[in-house]
Chains A and B, each alone.
Chain A
Amino acid sequence: MPDLNPAETIGLKSPLLSVRELAFAYQSKNSESGFSISVKELDIYPHNRLAIIGPNGAGKTTLLQLISLLLQPRQGIISFNGVGLITKKQVLDYHRATAFVPQKNILYNCSVRDNVALGLSLRKESPSDIDAKITEILKTLKIEHLANKSALKISGGEARRTMLARALVLKPKILFLDEPFSDLDEPIRRELIEDLLPLISQTGCATIFVTHNQDETYQLADRFMIMLKGSIVQQSNAHEVFANPATQEVAAFIGIKNIIPSKVIGFDKDIISISLETGKKEALKIVVSGSKPKSENVIVCIPPESIVISAPQSPEMHTSSRNVIPGIIKRIIPSRYFAWVEVDCGTILTASITHESILEMGLSPGRPVRLLIKSTAIKILPGA
């Protein structure tokens, strides 16, 4: 870490929360299930909305619990407003300035109102203040009719709302959300997000939230952090992560299905010629626009939605695509809005096509097709 410029540290741009050299290891009796987490550097600024995304078991929840000090890190410094959190008093003050919404429903054996009031009463606010605040938040989150109901007798969606109310009523500086909308049915989830977004902007808190559902993140976050196997592999804005995945693993996680180890065979005026490994004698050649890769070995990523399927008998190429690859349909896997079409072109390339197109073109396994791929749609990552 370079020395911080003092002018910078006192400037407006100083982070609300900063984490340095954080390390944590889960001890476990059977060594296989133990894992460790390490984060070199993480800064949260006021109004930041950071999404930590990654597959199950990547350590996202643990990381969130560490930076919210629900768990004690083994090593590392966590500072809040520029002050390291060390003494019990500092940790308590930090807990009281932030709020955590766990993934699991944690509700106390009392009414919804008393559940929501708990954080405030722990902070020794006056009963009349508490009353006013609770009434308001229950109304905003549309659970005022549950106020006197036992919190142990409400539905999953209502429990989520109660827990969010309990956190947001504290007007935290940082809100930690751990998979806030998992286990909720789609319409309930959407409604809750709609209700929550204005509330978060109104509170003006920084939000850090963990999810494995990438759809949620677009709506809720302005910064992405991708976590794989206990470490952060990429940190940037949403567009950047999807446009330029940092590694092969990130590309796989964000759903780029076609990830193929390849070799650069030529470079000319921003056009890279690449031969894809096929396992057969005849290599598959494609061209990609971009700057010259550092190494000869690269990994080619082709998002399925940028592959266009065309019939082989269609008149000779009135297309701007630089890559026209013949192949045979191997499998068609239907999904909700479209189908994955796996095409054997020497190596398997997967395209995503709407159900209508499949019917219209009469696509079925065994049929020869041509794949059109724009040279700008292909991403190249450094290879091993």
Chain B
Amino acid sequence: MPVGMLIGLSSLRGKKWLIAIVNTGMGLPPVLVGLVVALLLWRSGPLGFMGLLYSKTAMVIAQTIIALPLVTAFTIAGVQRIDPELIRYTVSLGATKWQLFKIVLREAKSTILVALMAGFGSIISEVGAVMMVGGNIKNDTMVMTTGIMSETRMGNFESALYLGAILLIISFAVNLCLTLIQQKQSA
């Protein structure tokens, strides 16, 4: 989000390129992210000494990489939709850089909440990357999506479906909260 704010507010020469790269990142295949992170964390890989492969930390790293471009791109879009005159005016009203940041964030609130929903949606439903870097270890790095896969492979369709239902309920609950916040202000 802060990255998106910075890019959205800045007037760098390479801004268009940067935005194009971030937008490409939105279509980043999670499996590819998983592969790259796994290779980096592999015991013989460059970051292997940290012993992070097949750990929760590794999964968080991979998920962050997947969600980052989504959240960033939506934030950029939200910030850019704000009237540049409003930004200049806010400065003349006596806002410091930090105060301007907060005001812009508030003005772009509804798009930024979409950014959070998109980011959340992309990672909660993700299988490939967490599987590759987490290893799907029961009671440790197994998450619901990978759990559904395991159960299905073992023929436990019933528990797989239950897991799926729970996953949907959680997802719905989170999105409901975010949507309520988003819709509240426009009332």
**B-binding residues in A (CB < 8 A):** 65, 68-71, 92, 95-96, 98-100, 102, 104, 106, 108-110, 118-119, 122-123, 166, 170
Contact = CB atoms under 8 A, between A and B. Distances in A.
A108 B83 contact: no
A69 B89 CA distance: 10
Dominant secondary structure at the B interface: helix
Contacts of B107: 108-109
Contacts of B106: 108-110
Contacts of B99: 122
B85 A95 contact: no
A15 B99 CA distance: 31
Q: Chain A CB within 10 Å — which of B89, B93, B107 has the most? A: B93
Interface string B85-103: 1101101111110010001
Given A96-B94, A109-B107, 15 more contacts: A70-B92, A92-B94, A95-B94, A98-B92, A99-B93, A100-B92, A106-B89, A108-B106, A108-B107, A109-B185, A110-B106, A119-B94, A122-B95, A122-B96, A170-B94
Contacts of A99: 93
Contacts, number: 48
Contacts of B86: 106, 108
A108 B82 CA distance: 10
B93 A70 contact: no
Interface range, B side: 10 to 19
Q: Can you list the 10 inter-chain pairs with the closest CB atoms, starting with the nearest?
A: A96-B94, A100-B92, A95-B94, A106-B89, A122-B94, A70-B92, A119-B93, A122-B95, A106-B86, A95-B92
Interface in B79-135: 83, 85-86, 88-89, 91-96, 99, 103, 106-107, 109
B85 to A, nearest CB: 6
Nearest to B108: A109
Interface in B53-96: 83, 85-86, 88-89, 91-96
A95 B93 contact: yes
Nearest to A68: B92
B186 to A, nearest CB: 8
Contact of A123 (B88, B91, B92, B94): B94
Contacts of A70: 88-89, 91-92
23 contacts: A65-B88, A70-B88, A70-B91, A95-B91, A95-B92, A96-B94, A99-B93, A100-B93, A102-B85, A102-B89, A104-B85, A106-B83, A106-B86, A106-B89, A108-B103, A108-B107, A110-B106, A119-B94, A122-B94, A122-B95, A122-B96, A122-B99, A123-B94
Contact of B92 (A69, A104, A108, A109): A69
A100 B95 CA distance: 13
Contact of B85 (A69, A106, A123, A170): A106
A66 to B, nearest CB: 12
A102 B89 CA distance: 8
Contacts of B185: 109
